[in-house]
Chain A
Amino acid sequence: MSVRYIPVQWNRNKWLYDAALVAAIAAYVLAFLELGAAEADRTRPVDGAILRMRAFGTCAFLMLTVVLAIGPLARLDRRFLPLLYNRRHFGVLTALVAFTHAAYVVNWYFVFAPTPRLENLLGSNTAYGQLLGFPIEALGLFALFCLGVLAATSHDFWLSFLGAPLWKALHLAIYPAYAAVVAHIWLGYLQDQGNPAFALVAGLGALTVAGLHLAARGRPEPRLPGDWIDAGRWDAIPDGRAVIVRVGAEERAAIFRNGATLSAVSNACAHQNGPLGEGRVLDGCITCPWHGFQYRPEDGRSPAPFTERIPTYRLRIEGARVLLDARANPPGTPVAPTPLPEGAP
């Protein structure tokens, strides 16, 4: 949460997450170097540097596939939420692995070029008008640039300075980057491979990402006219949990039940716009399911010494229904919790 920035906010869970990730990368690269050499076409042996660039390249692709699958998986099944918790470190490591792959490419294929290496890489193939033999180097460079921007802006400072909506908009570059990587692999490496093993892995991985994103696409809720929105039956909200209500084209509110009262706040966490309504009330505070940022239900403010604030909404109860005023209050505005009728379960 807020309070003075430090280089990397590690804690025990993040250390474990990162250690498991680094161990998995090392195991994959070593296994690829061991098995890849044996599986290579003996009539066209590859050099050690080429094998290493393939090891890091395929590793980066698989990591990017997992990074992109985590979001929709966590939306479809809450058991995947712990993976989302440290996804930014996962992304930074992916960028580092991808840069290692690119460094091997540039320092192997273009090492004796008479012109600067990057200039040679960009100018060596300019057949942009054809699919077969398309300059996949440009696709790779584009993806690398996107991954670089995402990794470079992953610090909490950038989230706060840019604001979560702009930060998230910038990070949508992950989608074209992944499409470029898929094209980079399928129009490049896999055009020349006799062994179908990686083609199967790459195809299944990419198609899984496509399928998960289709499956997790949100279905728009019906928009009701007027300032007050019928948010459903109040007895359908479990204690400590919330229902999410759409209050505009881009906005959603989360109505939380905290014991015998209801409170409504913006569904977007001030940190990374995580879905607060999918979190719960812990120690009297609404807790974001992504990174644990907390807000008081009665005013949308983080408990001291933290300073985050989110918009609040007014509520009223009519019979069995709970109604929400679609006009959001400025962030941090106190709104008295709405008591449930006497004898509420």
Chain B
Amino acid sequence: MAATLLSAATWYAWAGLGVAAVFLLWGAARCEPNARGAWAFRPLLVPACVLIWPLVLARWAVLESGWDEARRHRPPRRAQDLAALALALAIPAIIATALVVRQDGPREAPPVLLEAPEPA
């Protein structure tokens, strides 16, 4: 299972490198006017291309087909509220669970003098 996962991750990363090469040499400047003629910053974009290349391709396609600029001003406020609430509830639950399952090690328990069994 672990080997399969890592193999899939490796193929994913190689595909991401391919996307990075095409996007950074050609696509970035098409989508972003501020990237035209700017090359020094592009190597910094390679890790993100490798990690989120499906999103990069999807976004590139949206930008090529026309872009609803008004959506840029609708932050995911509700999702952020829910995520923050979920985190605030999860933290005490995780800590309480960890304290409940925690087993006292030999260092916390006082030593007990063992006595030899009574001779029969």
Which residues of A are in contact with B by a Cβ distance under 8 Å? Answer: 2-7, 41, 43, 72, 115-116, 118-120, 122-123, 126, 131-132, 145, 148-149, 151-153, 155, 157-158, 160-166, 168-170, 172, 175-176, 178-179, 182-183, 186-187, 190-192, 194, 203, 206-207, 209-211, 213-214, 216-218, 249-251, 266, 268, 270, 273, 307, 309-311, 328, 330-331
Known: A6-B40, A187-B98, A250-B78. A268 touches B73 (CB 8 A): yes
Checking B37, B47, B55, B87 against A148 with a beta-carbon cut-off of 8 angstroms, the contacting residue is B47
- What CA separation (Å) do A162 and B87 show in the bound complex? 25
- What CA separation (Å) do A242 and B59 show in the bound complex? 34
- What CA separation (Å) do A326 and B116 show in the bound complex? 86
Chain B window 4-48, contacts with chain A (Cβ cutoff 8 Å), 1 for yes, 0 for no: 011000000000000000000000100111111110110011011
For residue A183, which residues in chain B have a CB less than 8 angstroms away from its CB?
Answer: 94, 98
Known: A2-B34, A164-B75, A182-B94. A155 touches B45 (CB 8 A): yes
Known: A149-B48, A217-B84. 5 other contacts (CB 8 A): A164-B73, A166-B59, A179-B90, A210-B87, A273-B75
For residue B75, which residues in chain A have a CB less than 8 angstroms away from its CB?
Answer: 164-165, 168, 250, 268, 273
Do A4 and B34 have beta carbons less than 8 Å apart?
yes
Within the complex, the shortest CB–CB distance from A196 to chain B, in Å, comes to 10
Query: Chain B interface secondary structure, helix, strand, loop or mixed?
Result: helix
For residue A72, which residues in chain B have a CB less than 8 angstroms away from its CB?
Answer: 84
Do B73 and A172 have beta carbons less than 8 Å apart?
no
Contacts between the two chains (Cβ within 8 Å), count: 192
Within the complex, the shortest CB–CB distance from A6 to chain B, in Å, comes to 6
- What CA separation (Å) do A211 and B28 show in the bound complex? 41
Within the complex, the shortest CB–CB distance from A253 to chain B, in Å, comes to 10
For residue B97, which residues in chain A have a CB less than 8 angstroms away from its CB?
Answer: 131, 186
Q: Which 7 interchain pairs have the tightest Cβ spacing?
A: A186-B98, A122-B2, A152-B48, A273-B75, A152-B47, A123-B2, A210-B88
- What CA separation (Å) do A169 and B73 show in the bound complex? 13
- What CA separation (Å) do A6 and B31 show in the bound complex? 17
Q: How large is the interface on B (under 10, 10 to 19, 20 to 34, 35 or more residues)?
A: 35 or more
Of all chain A residues, the one with the shortest Cβ separation from B49 is: A152
For residue A328, which residues in chain B have a CB less than 8 angstroms away from its CB?
Answer: 70, 73
Do A119 and B6 have beta carbons less than 8 Å apart?
yes
For residue B76, which residues in chain A have a CB less than 8 angstroms away from its CB?
Answer: 165, 168-169, 172, 250
Within the complex, the shortest CB–CB distance from B17 to chain A, in Å, comes to 13
Of all chain B residues, the one with the shortest Cβ separation from A7 is: B41
27 contacts across the A-B interface (CB closer than 8 A) = A4-B35, A6-B38, A72-B84, A149-B52, A152-B52, A157-B28, A158-B45, A161-B28, A163-B71, A164-B73, A165-B72, A165-B74, A165-B76, A170-B52, A172-B80, A176-B83, A176-B87, A179-B86, A182-B94, A190-B98, A191-B102, A207-B91, A207-B92, A210-B91, A210-B92, A214-B85, A331-B69
Do B70 and A330 have beta carbons less than 8 Å apart?
yes
Do B44 and A155 have beta carbons less than 8 Å apart?
yes
Do A132 and B103 have beta carbons less than 8 Å apart?
yes
Do A169 and B69 have beta carbons less than 8 Å apart?
no
- What CA separation (Å) do A45 and B59 show in the bound complex? 52
For residue B87, which residues in chain A have a CB less than 8 angstroms away from its CB?
Answer: 175-176, 178-179, 209-210, 213
